[in-house]
Protein backbone atom coordinates (compact mmCIF):
# COMPACT_ATOMS: atom_id res chain seq x y z
CA UNK A 1 0.00 0.00 0.00
CA UNK A 2 1.13 3.53 -0.68
CA UNK A 3 0.36 4.56 2.86
CA UNK A 4 3.24 2.37 4.01
CA UNK A 5 5.74 4.97 2.83
CA UNK A 6 7.14 6.61 5.95
CA UNK A 7 9.92 8.63 4.31
CA UNK A 8 9.34 12.30 5.13
CA UNK A 9 6.44 11.69 7.49
CA UNK A 10 6.08 13.44 10.85
CA UNK A 11 5.52 11.53 14.09
CA UNK A 12 4.22 13.83 16.80
CA UNK A 13 5.90 13.40 20.18
CA UNK A 14 7.52 15.09 23.15
CA UNK A 15 11.08 13.73 22.93
CA UNK A 16 14.09 15.99 23.41
CA UNK A 17 14.59 16.02 19.64
CA UNK A 18 10.99 17.07 19.08
CA UNK A 19 11.51 20.00 21.42
CA UNK A 20 14.77 21.25 19.90
CA UNK A 21 14.58 24.53 18.04
CA UNK A 22 13.87 23.54 14.42
CA UNK A 23 16.51 25.98 13.13
CA UNK A 24 19.16 24.36 15.29
CA UNK A 25 17.95 20.92 14.31
CA UNK A 26 18.13 21.75 10.64
CA UNK A 27 21.64 23.20 10.81
CA UNK A 28 22.88 20.28 12.91
CA UNK A 29 21.40 17.73 10.51
CA UNK A 30 23.05 19.54 7.60
CA UNK A 31 26.33 19.44 9.54
CA UNK A 32 25.91 15.72 10.19
CA UNK A 33 25.25 15.10 6.50
CA UNK A 34 28.43 16.97 5.57
CA UNK A 35 30.27 14.89 8.18
CA UNK A 36 28.96 11.67 6.65
CA UNK A 37 30.69 12.57 3.42
CA UNK A 38 33.92 13.78 4.98
CA UNK A 39 34.63 10.77 7.19
CA UNK A 40 37.26 8.71 5.38
CA UNK A 41 38.15 6.00 7.86
CA UNK A 42 36.37 3.60 10.15
CA UNK A 43 37.07 5.55 13.35
CA UNK A 44 35.60 8.79 11.98
CA UNK A 45 32.72 6.99 10.31
CA UNK A 46 32.03 5.11 13.54
CA UNK A 47 31.73 8.42 15.35
CA UNK A 48 29.23 9.78 12.82
CA UNK A 49 27.23 6.54 12.85
CA UNK A 50 27.15 6.67 16.66
CA UNK A 51 25.76 10.21 16.42
CA UNK A 52 23.05 9.13 13.99
CA UNK A 53 22.09 6.11 16.12
CA UNK A 54 21.99 8.29 19.24
CA UNK A 55 19.68 10.67 17.36
CA UNK A 56 17.41 7.81 16.31
CA UNK A 57 17.12 6.50 19.85
CA UNK A 58 16.58 9.96 21.35
CA UNK A 59 13.83 10.75 18.86
CA UNK A 60 11.44 8.31 20.56
CA UNK A 61 10.20 7.19 17.15
CA UNK A 62 10.06 3.37 16.88
CA UNK A 63 13.13 1.97 15.13
CA UNK A 64 10.70 0.04 12.94
CA UNK A 65 9.65 3.31 11.31
CA UNK A 66 13.27 4.09 10.40
CA UNK A 67 13.64 0.64 8.89
CA UNK A 68 10.46 1.19 6.90
CA UNK A 69 11.79 4.43 5.48
CA UNK A 70 14.96 2.56 4.50
CA UNK A 71 12.98 -0.06 2.64
CA UNK A 72 12.06 2.37 -0.11
CA UNK A 73 15.69 3.11 -0.99
CA UNK A 74 17.25 -0.27 -0.27
CA UNK A 75 17.62 -0.87 -3.98
CA UNK A 76 19.54 2.37 -4.53
CA UNK A 77 21.88 1.52 -1.66
CA UNK A 78 22.55 -1.96 -3.02
CA UNK A 79 22.97 -0.74 -6.59
CA UNK A 80 25.41 2.11 -5.89
CA UNK A 81 27.50 0.17 -3.42
CA UNK A 82 27.85 -2.83 -5.73
CA UNK A 83 28.74 -0.52 -8.60
CA UNK A 84 31.41 1.08 -6.44
CA UNK A 85 32.86 -2.33 -5.67
CA UNK A 86 34.32 -2.46 -9.18
CA UNK A 87 35.67 1.09 -9.28
CA UNK A 88 38.48 0.71 -6.75
CA UNK A 89 42.10 1.51 -7.54
CA UNK A 90 45.23 -0.44 -6.62
CA UNK A 91 46.13 -4.11 -6.45
CA UNK A 92 43.26 -6.42 -7.49
CA UNK A 93 42.33 -9.12 -5.00
CA UNK A 94 39.85 -10.76 -7.35
CA UNK A 95 39.71 -10.72 -11.11
CA UNK A 96 37.21 -12.07 -13.61
CA UNK A 97 37.55 -10.90 -17.18
CA UNK A 98 37.63 -7.12 -17.25
CA UNK A 99 36.05 -6.89 -13.82
CA UNK A 100 38.34 -6.57 -10.89
CA UNK A 101 37.85 -5.99 -7.21
CA UNK A 102 40.47 -4.25 -5.15
CA UNK A 103 40.72 -3.69 -1.40
CA UNK A 104 40.01 -0.03 -2.09
CA UNK A 105 36.88 -1.06 -3.97
CA UNK A 106 35.67 -3.10 -1.03
CA UNK A 107 36.15 -0.12 1.30
CA UNK A 108 34.38 2.14 -1.17
CA UNK A 109 31.50 -0.29 -1.30
CA UNK A 110 31.15 -0.40 2.48
CA UNK A 111 31.51 3.36 2.89
CA UNK A 112 29.00 4.24 0.20
CA UNK A 113 26.46 1.88 1.74
CA UNK A 114 26.98 3.41 5.19
CA UNK A 115 26.86 6.92 3.74
CA UNK A 116 23.58 6.59 1.90
CA UNK A 117 21.98 4.74 4.82
CA UNK A 118 23.19 7.34 7.32
CA UNK A 119 22.07 10.13 5.00
CA UNK A 120 18.54 8.78 4.82
CA UNK A 121 18.39 8.05 8.55
CA UNK A 122 19.67 11.53 9.34
CA UNK A 123 17.07 13.27 7.23
CA UNK A 124 14.44 10.88 8.60
CA UNK A 125 15.32 11.99 12.13
CA UNK A 126 14.70 15.59 11.05
CA UNK A 127 11.38 14.96 9.31
CA UNK A 128 10.11 12.43 11.88
CA UNK A 129 10.60 14.86 14.76
CA UNK A 130 9.79 18.18 13.08
CA UNK A 131 6.35 19.13 11.85
CA UNK A 132 6.19 20.47 8.28
CA UNK A 133 5.21 23.90 9.60
CA UNK A 134 8.20 24.03 11.90
CA UNK A 135 10.41 22.82 9.09
CA UNK A 136 9.41 25.55 6.66
CA UNK A 137 9.42 28.11 9.43
CA UNK A 138 13.01 27.22 10.21
CA UNK A 139 13.90 27.29 6.55
CA UNK A 140 12.38 30.71 6.13
CA UNK A 141 14.40 32.02 9.07
CA UNK A 142 17.63 30.45 7.90
CA UNK A 143 17.21 31.82 4.38
CA UNK A 144 16.35 35.32 5.58
CA UNK A 145 19.74 36.79 4.57
CA UNK A 146 18.93 35.86 0.97
CA UNK A 147 16.21 38.50 1.02
CA UNK A 148 18.97 41.02 0.45
CA UNK A 149 19.47 39.44 -2.96
CA UNK A 150 15.75 39.74 -3.71
CA UNK A 151 15.12 36.03 -3.25
CA UNK A 152 11.40 35.60 -2.42
CA UNK A 153 12.15 33.64 0.77
CA UNK A 154 8.65 33.84 2.17
CA UNK A 155 7.07 32.60 -1.07
CA UNK A 156 9.47 29.68 -1.26
CA UNK A 157 8.67 28.74 2.33
CA UNK A 158 4.94 28.97 1.62
CA UNK A 159 5.28 26.77 -1.45
CA UNK A 160 7.19 24.22 0.63
CA UNK A 161 4.55 24.23 3.37
CA UNK A 162 1.75 23.68 0.90
CA UNK A 163 3.63 20.95 -0.96
CA UNK A 164 4.36 19.06 2.25
CA UNK A 165 0.79 19.53 3.44
CA UNK A 166 -0.55 17.86 0.32
CA UNK A 167 1.68 14.79 0.30
CA UNK A 168 -0.61 12.64 2.49
CA UNK A 169 -3.73 14.02 0.81
CA UNK A 170 -2.51 13.10 -2.63
CA UNK A 171 -1.35 9.67 -1.47
CA UNK A 172 -4.83 8.98 -0.17
CA UNK A 173 -6.30 10.25 -3.42
CA UNK A 174 -4.00 7.97 -5.42
CA UNK A 175 -5.14 5.01 -3.37
CA UNK A 176 -8.78 5.85 -4.07
CA UNK A 177 -8.27 6.34 -7.80
CA UNK A 178 -6.31 3.09 -8.01
CA UNK A 179 -9.15 1.22 -6.33
CA UNK A 180 -11.68 2.77 -8.69
CA UNK A 181 -9.70 1.88 -11.81
CA UNK A 182 -9.01 -1.61 -10.53
CA UNK A 183 -12.76 -2.00 -10.04
CA UNK A 184 -13.07 -1.25 -13.76
CA UNK A 185 -10.63 -4.04 -14.46
CA UNK A 186 -7.45 -1.98 -14.86
CA UNK A 187 -4.49 -4.32 -14.78
CA UNK A 188 -1.47 -2.83 -13.08
CA UNK A 189 0.37 -5.93 -11.98
CA UNK A 190 1.20 -7.69 -15.21
CA UNK A 191 2.62 -6.93 -18.63
CA UNK A 192 5.91 -5.57 -19.90
CA UNK A 193 7.45 -2.20 -19.09
CA UNK A 194 5.54 -0.27 -21.79
CA UNK A 195 2.30 -1.95 -20.75
CA UNK A 196 2.87 -0.95 -17.17
CA UNK A 197 3.71 2.65 -18.03
CA UNK A 198 0.54 2.80 -20.13
CA UNK A 199 -1.49 1.39 -17.27
CA UNK A 200 -0.46 4.40 -15.16
CA UNK A 201 -2.31 6.85 -17.42
CA UNK A 202 -5.77 6.12 -15.93
CA UNK A 203 -4.27 6.95 -12.54
CA UNK A 204 -2.08 9.92 -13.33
CA UNK A 205 -4.64 11.93 -15.31
CA UNK A 206 -7.35 11.92 -12.60
CA UNK A 207 -4.64 12.61 -10.03
CA UNK A 208 -3.40 15.68 -11.90
CA UNK A 209 -6.93 16.92 -12.49
CA UNK A 210 -7.71 16.62 -8.81
CA UNK A 211 -4.42 18.25 -7.80
CA UNK A 212 -5.28 21.27 -9.97
CA UNK A 213 -8.77 21.40 -8.55
CA UNK A 214 -7.35 21.37 -5.04
CA UNK A 215 -4.88 24.08 -5.99
CA UNK A 216 -7.70 26.31 -7.26
CA UNK A 217 -9.74 25.69 -4.11
CA UNK A 218 -6.79 26.46 -1.88
CA UNK A 219 -5.92 29.63 -3.80
CA UNK A 220 -9.49 30.76 -3.45
CA UNK A 221 -9.53 30.03 0.27
CA UNK A 222 -6.27 31.93 0.79
CA UNK A 223 -7.58 34.84 -1.25
CA UNK A 224 -10.72 34.89 0.94
CA UNK A 225 -8.57 35.21 4.02
CA UNK A 226 -6.64 38.09 2.45
CA UNK A 227 -3.35 36.26 2.13
CA UNK A 228 -0.66 38.56 0.86
CA UNK A 229 2.92 37.45 0.52
CA UNK A 230 4.22 41.05 0.38
CA UNK A 231 3.23 41.69 3.96
CA UNK A 232 5.23 40.03 6.68
CA UNK A 233 2.85 38.65 9.24
CA UNK A 234 3.94 38.21 12.82
CA UNK A 235 4.50 34.65 13.93
CA UNK A 236 2.02 32.91 16.15
CA UNK A 237 4.72 30.61 17.44
CA UNK A 238 8.00 32.41 17.98
CA UNK A 239 11.05 30.20 17.79
CA UNK A 240 13.17 30.21 20.94
CA UNK A 241 16.46 28.58 21.69
CA UNK A 242 16.93 26.86 25.03
CA UNK A 243 19.60 25.06 27.05
CA UNK A 244 18.99 21.78 25.23
CA UNK A 245 19.83 23.46 21.94
CA UNK A 246 23.21 24.51 23.32
CA UNK A 247 23.83 20.93 24.48
CA UNK A 248 22.94 19.57 21.04
CA UNK A 249 25.25 22.07 19.35
CA UNK A 250 28.12 21.14 21.66
CA UNK A 251 27.60 17.40 21.05
CA UNK A 252 27.70 17.85 17.29
CA UNK A 253 30.74 20.15 17.55
CA UNK A 254 32.56 17.45 19.52
CA UNK A 255 31.72 14.89 16.82
CA UNK A 256 32.94 17.32 14.14
CA UNK A 257 36.21 17.76 16.02
CA UNK A 258 36.53 13.98 16.39
CA UNK A 259 35.97 13.38 12.68
CA UNK A 260 38.45 16.10 11.69
CA UNK A 261 41.08 14.69 14.06
CA UNK A 262 40.42 11.16 12.79
CA UNK A 263 40.71 12.23 9.18
CA UNK A 264 43.99 14.02 9.81
CA UNK A 265 45.74 11.35 11.86
CA UNK A 266 44.39 8.12 10.38
CA UNK A 267 44.98 6.88 6.81
CA UNK A 268 42.17 7.59 4.35
CA UNK A 269 40.49 4.41 3.13
CA UNK A 270 37.97 5.57 0.59
CA UNK B 1 -33.91 -18.36 -5.71
CA UNK B 2 -30.18 -18.88 -5.76
CA UNK B 3 -27.82 -16.67 -3.85
CA UNK B 4 -25.59 -14.73 -6.22
CA UNK B 5 -23.28 -13.45 -3.49
CA UNK B 6 -22.76 -15.07 -0.15
CA UNK B 7 -20.37 -14.33 2.68
CA UNK B 8 -19.31 -16.89 5.25
CA UNK B 9 -17.85 -15.60 8.52
CA UNK B 10 -16.37 -12.71 6.59
CA UNK B 11 -13.89 -10.82 8.78
CA UNK B 12 -11.55 -7.99 7.92
CA UNK B 13 -8.94 -6.62 10.29
CA UNK B 14 -6.95 -3.48 9.47
CA UNK B 15 -3.20 -3.73 10.30
CA UNK B 16 -3.51 -7.14 11.96
CA UNK B 17 -0.90 -8.02 14.55
CA UNK B 18 0.04 -4.39 15.24
CA UNK B 19 -1.14 -2.23 18.13
CA UNK B 20 -3.36 -0.39 15.63
CA UNK B 21 -5.30 -3.56 14.72
CA UNK B 22 -8.99 -2.78 14.20
CA UNK B 23 -11.70 -5.19 13.19
CA UNK B 24 -13.78 -3.42 10.57
CA UNK B 25 -15.92 -6.36 9.49
CA UNK B 26 -16.71 -9.00 12.07
CA UNK B 27 -18.00 -12.45 11.09
CA UNK B 28 -20.60 -11.30 8.61
CA UNK B 29 -22.87 -13.98 7.12
CA UNK B 30 -25.21 -12.73 4.44
CA UNK B 31 -26.68 -14.15 1.27
CA UNK B 32 -27.82 -11.86 -1.51
CA UNK B 33 -30.38 -13.40 -3.85
CA UNK B 34 -30.22 -13.16 -7.59
CA UNK B 35 -32.04 -10.14 -8.93
CA UNK B 36 -32.85 -8.41 -5.67
CA UNK B 37 -32.13 -4.85 -4.73
CA UNK B 38 -30.38 -4.52 -1.39
CA UNK B 39 -29.91 -1.32 0.55
CA UNK B 40 -26.95 -1.07 2.90
CA UNK B 41 -27.12 1.40 5.76
CA UNK B 42 -24.91 2.02 8.74
CA UNK B 43 -23.26 4.76 10.73
CA UNK B 44 -19.94 6.19 9.48
CA UNK B 45 -17.26 3.64 10.37
CA UNK B 46 -19.71 0.76 10.68
CA UNK B 47 -17.77 -1.27 8.12
CA UNK B 48 -20.01 -0.78 5.07
CA UNK B 49 -17.23 0.35 2.75
CA UNK B 50 -14.84 -2.34 3.96
CA UNK B 51 -17.54 -4.93 3.42
CA UNK B 52 -18.33 -3.95 -0.15
CA UNK B 53 -14.67 -3.56 -1.15
CA UNK B 54 -14.24 -7.21 -0.30
CA UNK B 55 -17.17 -8.25 -2.46
CA UNK B 56 -15.27 -7.51 -5.67
CA UNK B 57 -11.87 -8.57 -4.39
CA UNK B 58 -10.30 -5.14 -3.89
CA UNK B 59 -9.64 -6.11 -0.28
CA UNK B 60 -8.76 -9.64 0.67
CA UNK B 61 -10.64 -10.87 3.75
CA UNK B 62 -8.57 -11.62 6.84
CA UNK B 63 -10.69 -14.71 7.34
CA UNK B 64 -13.93 -16.11 5.98
CA UNK B 65 -15.11 -16.56 2.44
CA UNK B 66 -17.02 -14.77 -0.28
CA UNK B 67 -18.94 -16.98 -2.67
CA UNK B 68 -19.92 -15.62 -6.08
CA UNK B 69 -22.34 -17.99 -7.81
CA UNK B 70 -21.32 -20.51 -5.17
CA UNK B 71 -17.59 -20.30 -5.89
CA UNK B 72 -14.97 -18.86 -3.53
CA UNK B 73 -13.63 -15.74 -5.26
CA UNK B 74 -10.18 -16.18 -3.72
CA UNK B 75 -9.86 -19.83 -4.78
CA UNK B 76 -7.55 -18.62 -7.56
CA UNK B 77 -6.08 -15.25 -6.55
CA UNK B 78 -4.63 -14.73 -10.03
CA UNK B 79 -8.11 -14.65 -11.54
CA UNK B 80 -9.44 -12.01 -9.16
CA UNK B 81 -9.78 -9.54 -12.05
CA UNK B 82 -12.53 -11.69 -13.52
CA UNK B 83 -14.52 -11.18 -10.32
CA UNK B 84 -14.32 -7.40 -10.72
CA UNK B 85 -16.16 -7.61 -14.02
CA UNK B 86 -18.95 -9.63 -12.42
CA UNK B 87 -19.27 -7.44 -9.34
CA UNK B 88 -19.24 -3.89 -10.68
CA UNK B 89 -18.36 -1.28 -8.11
CA UNK B 90 -19.18 2.42 -8.28
CA UNK B 91 -17.24 4.30 -5.63
CA UNK B 92 -18.23 7.45 -3.81
CA UNK B 93 -17.67 10.53 -5.97
CA UNK B 94 -16.83 8.37 -8.98
CA UNK B 95 -16.43 11.38 -11.26
CA UNK B 96 -12.83 11.74 -10.06
CA UNK B 97 -11.85 8.57 -11.88
CA UNK B 98 -12.50 9.91 -15.40
CA UNK B 99 -9.44 10.19 -17.59
CA UNK B 100 -10.15 9.54 -21.27
CA UNK B 101 -10.38 12.01 -24.14
CA UNK B 102 -14.06 11.46 -24.80
CA UNK B 103 -17.03 10.36 -22.72
CA UNK B 104 -17.59 7.20 -24.76
CA UNK B 105 -13.94 6.18 -24.61
CA UNK B 106 -14.00 6.53 -20.85
CA UNK B 107 -17.11 4.39 -20.54
CA UNK B 108 -15.48 1.80 -22.82
CA UNK B 109 -12.45 1.47 -20.53
CA UNK B 110 -14.01 -1.29 -18.44
CA UNK B 111 -15.36 -3.38 -21.35
CA UNK B 112 -11.99 -3.09 -23.08
CA UNK B 113 -10.20 -4.36 -19.97
CA UNK B 114 -12.64 -7.22 -20.05
CA UNK B 115 -11.14 -8.18 -23.39
CA UNK B 116 -13.83 -6.98 -25.79
CA UNK B 117 -12.80 -5.62 -29.19
CA UNK B 118 -12.89 -1.86 -29.74
CA UNK B 119 -16.19 -2.01 -31.63
CA UNK B 120 -17.86 -4.26 -29.07
CA UNK B 121 -16.64 -2.06 -26.24
CA UNK B 122 -18.01 1.03 -28.04
CA UNK B 123 -21.33 -0.73 -28.50
CA UNK B 124 -21.49 -1.50 -24.77
CA UNK B 125 -20.46 2.06 -23.97
CA UNK B 126 -23.25 3.53 -26.10
CA UNK B 127 -25.77 1.19 -24.53
CA UNK B 128 -24.66 2.18 -21.02
CA UNK B 129 -24.62 5.88 -21.91
CA UNK B 130 -28.19 5.52 -23.16
CA UNK B 131 -29.16 3.77 -19.93
CA UNK B 132 -27.81 6.51 -17.71
CA UNK B 133 -29.52 9.17 -19.74
CA UNK B 134 -26.46 10.87 -21.22
CA UNK B 135 -27.43 13.03 -24.16
CA UNK B 136 -25.89 12.03 -27.49
CA UNK B 137 -24.44 15.51 -27.90
CA UNK B 138 -22.18 14.79 -24.92
CA UNK B 139 -20.81 11.47 -26.13
CA UNK B 140 -17.84 12.86 -28.07
CA UNK B 141 -17.04 15.62 -25.57
CA UNK B 142 -14.19 15.52 -23.09
CA UNK B 143 -15.48 14.24 -19.75
CA UNK B 144 -13.83 17.21 -18.06
CA UNK B 145 -16.15 19.65 -19.86
CA UNK B 146 -19.28 18.14 -18.33
CA UNK B 147 -21.20 19.27 -15.27
CA UNK B 148 -20.88 17.42 -11.96
CA UNK B 149 -24.06 15.41 -12.40
CA UNK B 150 -23.18 14.45 -15.97
CA UNK B 151 -19.71 13.35 -14.91
CA UNK B 152 -21.26 11.17 -12.23
CA UNK B 153 -23.41 9.52 -14.90
CA UNK B 154 -20.42 8.88 -17.13
CA UNK B 155 -18.65 7.18 -14.23
CA UNK B 156 -21.67 5.01 -13.40
CA UNK B 157 -22.10 4.15 -17.08
CA UNK B 158 -18.44 3.09 -17.08
CA UNK B 159 -19.26 0.36 -14.58
CA UNK B 160 -22.64 -0.60 -16.05
CA UNK B 161 -20.94 -1.07 -19.44
CA UNK B 162 -19.03 -4.04 -18.02
CA UNK B 163 -22.36 -5.88 -17.71
CA UNK B 164 -21.83 -6.90 -14.09
CA UNK B 165 -24.08 -9.52 -12.48
CA UNK B 166 -24.03 -7.47 -9.31
CA UNK B 167 -23.86 -3.68 -9.31
CA UNK B 168 -22.60 -2.08 -6.10
CA UNK B 169 -23.11 1.66 -5.69
CA UNK B 170 -21.55 3.57 -2.80
CA UNK B 171 -23.56 6.75 -2.17
CA UNK B 172 -24.28 7.35 -5.85
CA UNK B 173 -26.37 10.45 -5.17
CA UNK B 174 -24.04 12.18 -2.69
CA UNK B 175 -23.53 15.84 -3.49
CA UNK B 176 -26.21 16.02 -6.19
CA UNK B 177 -29.08 18.49 -6.07
CA UNK B 178 -32.51 17.07 -5.14
CA UNK B 179 -33.67 16.81 -8.74
CA UNK B 180 -30.46 15.17 -9.92
CA UNK B 181 -30.78 12.80 -7.01
CA UNK B 182 -34.31 11.75 -7.94
CA UNK B 183 -33.44 11.29 -11.61
CA UNK B 184 -30.33 9.24 -10.84
CA UNK B 185 -32.11 6.94 -8.40
CA UNK B 186 -34.99 6.48 -10.82
CA UNK B 187 -32.49 5.51 -13.50
CA UNK B 188 -30.80 3.00 -11.24
CA UNK B 189 -34.24 1.60 -10.45
CA UNK B 190 -35.14 1.24 -14.12
CA UNK B 191 -31.74 -0.29 -14.85
CA UNK B 192 -32.41 -2.85 -12.14
CA UNK B 193 -35.84 -3.66 -13.55
CA UNK B 194 -34.57 -3.88 -17.10
CA UNK B 195 -31.50 -6.00 -16.64
CA UNK B 196 -32.93 -8.05 -13.79
CA UNK B 197 -29.55 -8.13 -12.11
CA UNK B 198 -28.63 -7.60 -8.49
CA UNK B 199 -28.08 -4.10 -7.12
CA UNK B 200 -26.47 -3.13 -3.83
CA UNK B 201 -26.99 0.48 -2.83
CA UNK B 202 -25.21 2.15 0.04
CA UNK B 203 -26.78 5.36 1.20
CA UNK B 204 -27.12 7.62 4.20
CA UNK B 205 -30.52 8.70 3.01
CA UNK B 206 -33.18 6.42 4.48
CA UNK B 207 -35.65 7.89 1.97
CA UNK B 208 -33.53 6.68 -0.96
CA UNK B 209 -33.18 3.24 0.59
CA UNK B 210 -36.92 3.01 1.30
CA UNK B 211 -37.64 3.85 -2.32
CA UNK B 212 -35.24 1.44 -4.01
CA UNK B 213 -34.47 -1.54 -1.79
CA UNK B 214 -36.32 -4.86 -1.45
CA UNK B 215 -34.20 -5.80 1.53
CA UNK B 216 -31.99 -3.75 3.83
CA UNK B 217 -28.71 -4.73 5.43
CA UNK B 218 -27.90 -2.75 8.56
CA UNK B 219 -24.24 -2.66 9.54
CA UNK B 220 -23.26 -1.74 13.08
CA UNK B 221 -19.76 -1.93 14.56
CA UNK B 222 -18.61 -4.32 11.85
CA UNK B 223 -21.48 -6.74 12.34
CA UNK B 224 -24.53 -7.35 10.21
CA UNK B 225 -27.07 -6.10 12.76
CA UNK B 226 -30.17 -6.69 10.62
CA UNK B 227 -30.85 -8.12 7.20
CA UNK B 228 -34.53 -8.19 6.42
CA UNK B 229 -37.19 -6.80 4.11
CA UNK B 230 -37.34 -3.02 4.00
CA UNK B 231 -40.65 -2.63 5.93
CA UNK B 232 -39.44 -5.05 8.61
CA UNK B 233 -36.18 -3.19 9.11
CA UNK B 234 -37.82 0.21 9.29
CA UNK B 235 -40.36 -1.12 11.77
CA UNK B 236 -37.52 -1.38 14.31
CA UNK B 237 -36.99 2.36 14.65
CA UNK B 238 -35.91 2.27 18.31
CA UNK B 239 -33.10 -0.18 17.55
CA UNK B 240 -32.02 1.79 14.49
CA UNK B 241 -31.78 4.93 16.57
CA UNK B 242 -29.36 3.30 19.02
CA UNK B 243 -27.12 2.65 16.01
CA UNK B 244 -27.15 6.29 14.99
CA UNK B 245 -29.65 5.65 12.19
CA UNK B 246 -33.28 6.54 11.75
CA UNK B 247 -36.32 5.54 9.73
CA UNK B 248 -37.57 7.58 6.75
CA UNK B 249 -39.40 10.73 7.87
CA UNK B 250 -42.65 9.56 6.30
CA UNK B 251 -42.48 6.30 8.22
CA UNK B 252 -41.87 8.18 11.46
CA UNK B 253 -44.87 10.45 10.84
CA UNK B 254 -47.14 7.55 9.95
CA UNK B 255 -46.08 5.63 13.05
CA UNK B 256 -46.88 8.71 15.15
CA UNK B 257 -50.29 9.08 13.50
CA UNK B 258 -51.02 5.43 14.20
CA UNK B 259 -50.08 5.91 17.86
CA UNK B 260 -52.47 8.88 17.99
CA UNK B 261 -55.29 6.62 16.88
CA UNK B 262 -55.41 7.34 13.18
CA UNK B 263 -56.44 4.28 11.16
CA UNK B 264 -53.29 4.03 8.97
CA UNK B 265 -51.30 0.84 8.33
CA UNK B 266 -47.70 0.44 9.57
CA UNK B 267 -44.77 -0.05 7.21
CA UNK B 268 -45.44 3.00 5.04
CA UNK B 269 -42.09 3.85 3.47
CA UNK B 270 -42.59 6.42 0.73
CA UNK B 271 -44.38 9.70 0.28
CA UNK B 272 -46.53 8.21 -2.52
CA UNK B 273 -47.73 5.41 -0.25
CA UNK B 274 -48.47 7.88 2.53
CA UNK B 275 -50.50 10.10 0.21
CA UNK B 276 -52.48 7.08 -0.93
CA UNK B 277 -53.28 6.21 2.66
CA UNK B 278 -53.98 9.69 3.97
CA UNK B 279 -55.93 11.28 1.13
CA UNK B 280 -59.09 9.13 1.59
CA UNK B 281 -58.99 9.82 5.33
CA UNK B 282 -58.77 13.58 4.79
CA UNK B 283 -61.56 13.47 2.20
CA UNK B 284 -63.71 11.41 4.52
CA UNK B 285 -63.17 13.88 7.33
CA UNK B 286 -64.08 16.82 5.05
CA UNK B 287 -67.22 15.01 3.95
CA UNK B 288 -68.15 14.34 7.59
CA UNK B 289 -67.67 18.01 8.48
CA UNK B 290 -69.74 19.15 5.52
CA UNK B 291 -72.51 16.75 6.46
CA UNK B 292 -72.79 18.22 9.92
- Do residues B93 and B111 touch, judged by C-beta distance below 8 A? no
**Co-location of A108 and A65 in the same domain:** yes
Residue-range domain boundaries for chain B: 3-101+162-239, 248-292
- Asked whether A42 and A269 are in contact (CB, 8 A), the reply is yes
Same domain, residue pair A13 and A94: yes
Give residue-wise pLDDT tens across range A52-100: 999 999 998 888 888 888 887 888 888 988 888 887 777 777 777 777 7
Report d(CA A17, CA A29) in Å as an integer. Answer: 12
- Provide block-wise average pLDDT over 10 residues at a time, chain B (292 residues): 86 81 90 93 90 91 92 88 92 88 93 92 92 90 90 93 93 86 88 90 90 92 92 88 88 87 82 87 87 78
Name the domain count of chain A. 2
Q: Under an 8 A CB cutoff, do B58 and A186 touch?
A: no
Residue A234 belongs to a domain: no
Render pLDDT for B175-223 as a digit per residue (tens, 0 to 9). 888 888 888 888 888 889 888 889 999 998 898 898 889 999 999 999 9
CATH of B3-101+162-239, one of 3.40.1190.20, 3.40.50.1450, 3.30.110.40, 3.40.50.300: 3.40.50.300
Segments forming the whole domain that contains residue A135? 1-151+240-270
CA–CA distance, B84 with A183 (Å, rounded to integer): 6
> In the predicted model, is pLDDT for residue A217 greater than 90?
yes
Nearest to B96 among A183, A184, A206 (CB): A206
Phi-psi region of A239 (alpha: psi -120 to 50; beta: other; left: phi over 0): beta
The answer to whether residues A173 and A64 belong to one domain is no
Residues A140 and A159 in one domain: no
Tell me, what's the pLDDT at A2? 52
Q: Does residue A143 sit in the same domain as residue A200?
A: no
Same domain, A125 and A62: yes
pLDDT tens, residue by residue, A113-140: 999 999 999 988 998 898 888 888 888 8
Residues A190 and A99 in one domain: no
Q: Are A107 and A270 in contact (CB under 8 A)?
A: yes
**Cα B11 → chain centroid:** 21
Judgement on whether residues A86 and A188 belong to the same structural domain of the protein: no
pLDDT at A21 over 60: yes
What's the average model confidence in pLDDT over A207-228? 92
Residue of B49, B50, B59, B99 to mutate when probing chain A, most A C-beta within 10 A? B99
Q: pTM for the complete prediction?
A: 0.74
Chain B positions touching A187 (Cβ under 8 A) are 81, 113
Distance from CA of B178 to the nearest CA of A (A): 24
**A163 and A268 assigned to the same domain:** no
Query: How does DSSP classify residue A4?
Result: G
- Asked, for residue A235, whether it belongs to a domain, the answer is no
Domain annotation covers residue A233: no
Does A95 share its domain with A6? yes
Chain A partners within 8 Å of B56 (Cβ): 183
Decide if the complex's ipTM is over 0.90.
no
B58 backbone dihedrals φ, ψ, rounded to 5°: -75, -35
- Note whether A180 contacts B114, CB cutoff 8 Å: no
A51 with A161, same domain: the answer is no
Amino acid sequence: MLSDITLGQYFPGRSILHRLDPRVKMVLVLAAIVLIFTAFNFASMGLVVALVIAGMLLSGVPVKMYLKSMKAILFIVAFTSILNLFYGTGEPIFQWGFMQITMNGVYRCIFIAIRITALILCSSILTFTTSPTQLTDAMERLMKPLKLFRVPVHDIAMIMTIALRFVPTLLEETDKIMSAQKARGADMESGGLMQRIKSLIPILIPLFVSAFRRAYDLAMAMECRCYNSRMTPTKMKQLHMAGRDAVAIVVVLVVIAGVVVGDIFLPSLA
Amino acid sequence: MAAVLETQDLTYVYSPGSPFARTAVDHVNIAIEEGESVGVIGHTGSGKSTLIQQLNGLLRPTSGKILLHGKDIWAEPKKIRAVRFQVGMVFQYPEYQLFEETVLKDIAFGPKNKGLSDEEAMEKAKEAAEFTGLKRSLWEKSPFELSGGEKRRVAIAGVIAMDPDVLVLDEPAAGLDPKGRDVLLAQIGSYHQHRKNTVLLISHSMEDIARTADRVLVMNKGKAAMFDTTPNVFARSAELETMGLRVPQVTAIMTRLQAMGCPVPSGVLTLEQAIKELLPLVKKKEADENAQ
